[in-house]
Structure 1
Amino acid sequence: MAEHTYKFDVKMSCTGCSGAIDRVLKKTDGVSSYDISLENQEVIVKGTIEYDEVLEKIKKTGKEVRSGTTVE
């Protein structure tokens, strides 16, 4: 399966917000790497996982996902 890169604009106000996303992504199968930027309000995820699955995982943390795109 091909690896994809996704970029999400996520509303995060503190390290607790980014920490919640970190905890869920590190337990997610199909995610090979990710970068969470509290300063830029963005989450970049790389892996063989589908876009909708990553979006649902981030939304389950209770954070607002303002937008998301596939970067490739």
Structure 2
Amino acid sequence: MSTSSTIELAAADLNDQGGVFCPSPKAHMPLWSSHPKVYLDVARTGEARCPYCGTVYRLKAGEVVAHGH
């Protein structure tokens, strides 16, 4: 299955490590067609593509990820 959609994220949508999990509620993926949960590091480059469904998770323009280390 390939959704090939793009989900724009705010920095606040990312978890403490700067990523998201796919499938995500933001992707509106029905439970019956979902795939195994995979972590995607969005903060590193500003976007990440799910290897299972092809959904791209991208930071919205102007969003800045704060690194509180």
Please give the TM-score of this superposition, normalised by the length of structure 2. Answer: 0.32
Radius of gyration: which is bigger?
Answer: 2
Higher helix residue share: 1
Which gives a bigger RCO, structure 1 or 2 (Cα 8 Å, sep 6+)? 1
Please give the TM-score of this superposition, normalised by the length of structure 1. Answer: 0.31
